[in-house]
Amino acid sequence: MALVVRLREERKWKATRVKLATATIMYVLAMVHLALDVHRATLAFADLAGQSAKLEHYYTQVDDPTHVAKSAIYTVQTMVGESFAIYRVWLVWSWSLLVVLPAILLISTGIIGFIACSQFAHTHSDQGVFSPLLKTWITVFFALALVTSLVSTCLIAGRILWSNHKVRHFCDGGSVQGSNTLASDAILQSSAIYAACLIALVGAYASGSNAQYILLDALQPIIVRGLSGDV
C-alpha cells in the first residue's frame, strides 16, 4: 500500500512539473506574440496614421518579418499546447498507445505550419493570407490542428465520462447538479472550449472573413488557459 501511495505521489509531482513547464512556455510565447501585435499596431496606426492605403498594404504583406515571426510563434504555441493535451490523454488512459493517433496528427500539423511560415516569407501578394498561394497551406494547418484537438478532446472526455459512469452510484442519483458537474468537468478538462474557438476560426478563414484576425489573436489566451489547465 505504501508503495502504491508513493508511486501515485511521484506521478502527481511529475504531472505538476510538466504542467508548470508547459504553462511557462505558453505564457512566454503569448507575451512575445502580444508584443509583436502591439509593435505592428503602433507602426500601422501611429506611423501610418491617415494613410489608409499604406496601412492596408502593410497588413497584407505576409512576408513582413513580424508577421512571419507571429505565425511561427502561433505554430510553436499550438505544438506545445497540443503536446500537453496528448500528454493528458496518455495520463487519463493509463499510458495507452491511443496517443499514437493524435501524436501523428500533431507532427503533421507542425510540418504544415512551418511550411506555411516558409511560404509567408517568400510570398508577395496584396491579398495577404487569403492569397491562393497560401490558402491551401493555411487551411490544411487549421484543419489538422482542429482534428488533433478534437481527437484529444474526445479521448479525454470519453475517458472522464466513462470513469464518472462507473462511480455514478456515489453521486445523487441522476440529479441535475451532478449531471452539470460531470459535463463541466468534461468540457474544461478536455479543452473543448479551445476546439470550439478553433472551429469558429476555420469557418471565418474559409469564408474569407477578416474576423479570422480577431479570432486568431483571441486564441492566444484560450490556448494558454485551456491546454495548460489542470490535469
Least confident of 100-104, 115-119, 157-161: 157-161
Query: What pLDDT was estimated at residue 211?
Result: 83
C-alpha cell at 34: 502580444
| Per-residue pLDDT tens over the stretch 3-49 | 334 445 555 566 678 878 888 888 899 899 889 988 888 887 777 66
Query: What pLDDT was estimated at residue 12?
Result: 59
Query: What pLDDT was estimated at residue 153?
Result: 81
Q: How much is the mean pLDDT over the chain? A: 77
Shortest CA distance to 135 belongs to which of 116, 108, 109, 110?
116
Selected residue with higher pLDDT from 159 and 209: 209
- Site of grid cell 468537468: 185
Q: How many CB atoms lie within 10 A of CB 108?
A: 16
Contact 62, 120 (CB under 8 A): yes
End-to-end CA separation in angstroms for the chain: 24
Selected residue with higher pLDDT from 181 and 116: 116
Cα separation, 188 vs 148, whole angstroms? 17
| Per-residue pLDDT tens over the stretch 92-111 | 887 778 889 999 999 999 99
| Per-residue pLDDT tens over the stretch 57-81 | 777 788 888 889 999 999 999 999 8
Contact 224, 23 (CB under 8 A): yes
Q: How confident is the model at residue 167 (pLDDT cuts 50, 70, 90)?
A: low
Query: What pLDDT was estimated at residue 129?
Result: 85
Give percent above pLDDT 90 in the chain. 17
Q: How confident is the model at residue 124 (pLDDT cuts 50, 70, 90)?
A: confident
Query: What pLDDT was estimated at residue 190?
Result: 52
Instruction: Please compute Rg for the chain using Cα positions.
Output: 21
Contact 168, 206 (CB under 8 A): no
Cα separation, 111 vs 118, whole angstroms? 11
Query: What pLDDT was estimated at residue 116?
Result: 92
